[in-house]
């Protein structure tokens, strides 16, 4: 009986250890072979301790996009960036990508890794940012996500030579809340929202261009779609490409208001509004014309001389 007892205890310990290892494993990991860096050398500014582990919050009841599920990554407290270099010719351009998710989760594949696959095919280095969620934006409600965005752009410039990137062709691209984050870092770059931690924070965090896809928080629904006063473009705001569907439940005024703000300060901007498309389609192609937006972005990047060609 005593030997059986020790066997049982040993099995329980083994199961417990396995459960602990599974609990420590992230709900999402980049594919092997990619450089991944923590955004911060220690704890992120103002981050609470003892947060729950990252988790894929997707359930069987959640909607599919183009017939496929997606990863809705939650409880991100240790933000990172992951570098996806182009597999063929390298244009030297880079895009820092911010997935959406209402500042509550990150659609890390739909609006992250799948975006990197497309950018790589165009010869562009993709830098995917896993920024903090939940309740980390929009700024100034919380500064956390914008701190992560500022830090990420500076880190890309710090490592530009190492990663084959032209530091004068570093742009941002974001979806939904990530679209707001792209606009926010395009208009809040003159001063860091945190104390500098190393030389990366001495470099500019102003993007050289921005792509804003079905953004939120740029128009205030509770104020009859008034322009968000915290997003204040100037003549130094980078050239911007904006796309949204008119029937987006998040409201197309987010796109049109921001376009008009850019126009008023004479920032080159390109706006595409489609009749249908809704929200949250990412790059997954459907029968709707709005899902052809990546090809238009490539044309625009050539137009503003980020990519070669006409």
Residue with structure tokens 């050398």?
41
pLDDT(2) > 90: no
The single-letter DSSP state of residue 133 is B
Domains of the chain, residue spans: 33-44+51-303
CA distances from 150 to 164, 172, 219 (A): 20, 11, 22
pLDDT band at 310 (very low <50, low <70, confident <90, very high): low
pLDDT(196) > 80: yes
Q: Can you give the pLDDT at residue 207? A: 98
Span 179-192, average pLDDT: 98
Helices (H) and strands (E) in the chain, counts: 6, 13
Q: Can you give the pLDDT at residue 10? A: 41
Domain covering 33-44+51-303, topology: Rossmann fold (3.40.50)
Span 244-256, average pLDDT: 97
Q: Can you give the pLDDT at residue 130? A: 98
CA atoms within a 13 Å half-sphere pointing along the CA-CB vector of 203? 18
Q: For the chain, give the number of residues.
A: 310
Span 183-212, average pLDDT: 97
Span 18-23, average pLDDT: 38
Work out whether strand 106-107 and strand 269-274 pair parallel, antiparallel, or are unpaired.
unpaired
Q: Is 125 helix (H, G, I), strand (E, B) or coil?
A: strand
Output 4 or 113, whichever has higher pLDDT: 113
pLDDT per residue as tens digits for the range 69-90: 999 999 999 999 999 999 989 9
Burial 65-103 (b: 16+ CB within 10 A, else e): beeeebbbbbbbbbbbbbbbbbeeebbbbbbbbbbbbbb
Q: What is the largest CA-CA distance in the chain?
A: 84
pLDDT per residue as tens digits for the range 101-111: 999 999 999 99
pLDDT(156) > 90: yes
Q: Can you give the pLDDT at residue 26? A: 66
CA distances from 250 to 12, 53, 234 (A): 49, 29, 25
Output 108 or 2, whichever has higher pLDDT: 108
Q: How far apart are CA 34 and CA 55, in angstroms?
A: 21
Work out whether strand 125-130 and strand 80-84 pair parallel, antiparallel, or are unpaired.
antiparallel
Q: pTM for this structure?
A: 0.91
Q: Return mean pLDDT, the chain.
A: 91
Span 244-273, average pLDDT: 98
């Amino acid at each position: 009986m005593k030997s059986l007892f020790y066997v049982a205890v040993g099995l329980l310990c083994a199961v417990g250890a396995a459960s602990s290892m599974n609990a420590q494993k992230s709900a999402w990991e980049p594919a092997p072979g990619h450089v991944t860096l923590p955004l911060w050398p220690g704890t992120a500014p103002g981050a609470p301790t003892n947060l729950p582990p990252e988790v894929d919050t997707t359930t069987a009841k959640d909607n599919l996009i183009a017939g496929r599920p997606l990863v809705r990554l939650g409880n991100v407290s240790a933000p990172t960036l992951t570098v996806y270099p182009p597999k063929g010719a390298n244009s030297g351009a880079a895009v820092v990508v911010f997935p959406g998710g209402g500042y509550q989760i990150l659609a890390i594949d739909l609006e992250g890794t799948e975006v990197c696959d497309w950018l790589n095919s165009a010869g562009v280095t993709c830098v995917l940012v896993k920024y903090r969620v939940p309740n980390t934006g929009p700024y100034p409600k919380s500064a956390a996500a914008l701190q992560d965005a500022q830090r990420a752009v500076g880190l890309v410039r710090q490592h530009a030579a190492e990663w084959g990137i032209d530091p004068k062709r570093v742009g941002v691209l974001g979806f939904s809340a990530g679209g707001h984050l792209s606009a926010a870092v395009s208009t809040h770059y003159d001063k860091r929202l945190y104390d500098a931690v190393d030389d990366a924070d001495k470099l500019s965090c102003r993007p050289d261009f921005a792509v804003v896809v079905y953004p939120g928080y740029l128009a205030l629904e509770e104020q009859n779609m008034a322009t968000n006063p915290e997003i204040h473009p100037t003549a130094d705001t980078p050239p911007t490409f904006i796309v949204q569907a008119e029937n987006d439940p998040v409201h197309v005024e987010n796109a049109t208001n921001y376009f008009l703000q850019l126009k008023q300060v004479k920032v080159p901007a390109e706006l595409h509004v489609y009749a249908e498309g809704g929200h949250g389609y990412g790059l997954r192609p459907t029968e709707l014309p709005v899902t052809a937006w990546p090809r238009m972005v490539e044309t625009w990047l050539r137009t503003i001389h980020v990519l070669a060609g006409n």
